[in-house]
Amino acid sequence: MIVVNKVNKSFADKQVLHNINITFEKGKVNLVIGRSGSGKTVLMKCLIGLLTPSEGSIYYGNRDFHHLTFSDQKALRNEMGVVFQGSALFDSLTIEENLMFPLNMLTKQSFKEKLDRVNYCLHRVDLYNTNKLYPSELSGGMKKRAAIARAIAINPQYLFCDEPNSGLDPKTSLIIDELITGITHEFSMTTVVNTHDLNSVITIGETISFIKDGVLGWYGTKDEVLRTENEGLNDFIYAQPITQKIRDFVH
């Protein structure tokens, strides 16, 4: 479980996050939704330690991440897997080397053990015969799956995905969503997903946090999101004609 407690984040004079309080539950896919520029990515960067909150705390279990010693922070980072928006696979390494990279850096496994783990993770995300390919030789969806495979290679307790469906076609988005949900339940991870993909919201959002202008505007589940009276969330959810038809159908 991850608890975000009264987190504020400012850049110079501009405050991006305002008193955010969220609990991301273990074994569930926790979505953070909101418009572009609402502060989702800043919140995620605070969660994974790329940014430090100006005020407040982020607890992983009972560990206050930003007040840990350097070595304890490093140990906690070994429990995190991150899927970046652009996949962030290392261009100069093959897919196999990309997956082996965190294992080389963070574990003392033998080469055979690491190779077995790499192959297991690649098969888990349905990537076959891609070990020796470079990221530039993969499609967008395959890159995302490879990035997920790299993120789970170290068997993390916490999985973070920043807009995993951006730039993907609807079918591939579904596959990625199913994959994230499946992995989360299978390994009982605490998964946090930044998204503004409405299909993800209504299919995989076991908890949903809606951020508007850096403020937590709404918190609930996928079953509640379509029936909410929250004006800001409704503006976000029903911005498109297709979702307006869903609203008419639901009501």
Footprint of another protein (CB under 8 A) = 48-50, 73-74, 77-78, 80, 82, 84-86, 88-91, 101-102, 105-106
**Of residues 50 and 239, the one with the C-beta less far from another protein:** 50
CA 181 to chain centre: 11
Shortest Å, Cβ 177 to another protein: 21
Residue pair 170/176 in contact (Cβ under 8 Å)? The answer is: no
Paired residues of 15 in beta bridges:
10
Shortest Å, Cβ 102 to another protein: 5
**Of residues 72 and 231, the one with the C-beta less far from another protein:** 72
Shortest Å, Cβ 65 to another protein: 12
Shortest Å, Cβ 76 to another protein: 9
Shortest Å, Cβ 92 to another protein: 9
**Of residues 58 and 233, the one with the C-beta less far from another protein:** 58
CB-based contacts of 126: which residues, under 8 Å, 6+ apart? 145, 175, 179
Shortest Å, Cβ 43 to another protein: 15
CB hemisphere CA count around 160 (13 angstroms) = 22
**Of residues 61 and 86, the one with the C-beta less far from another protein:** 86
2-11 and 55-60 strand pairing: antiparallel
**Of residues 89 and 216, the one with the C-beta less far from another protein:** 89
Three-state helix/strand/coil letters over 67-101 = HCCHHHHHHHHCCEEEEECCECCCCCCCHHHHHHH
Q: Which of 173, 211, 160, 182 is nearest to 33 (CA)?
A: 211
Shortest Å, Cβ 84 to another protein: 4
**Of residues 74 and 247, the one with the C-beta less far from another protein:** 74
CB count, 10 Å around CB of 225? 22
**Of residues 32 and 226, the one with the C-beta less far from another protein:** 32
The structure tokens listed for 22 are 């969220």
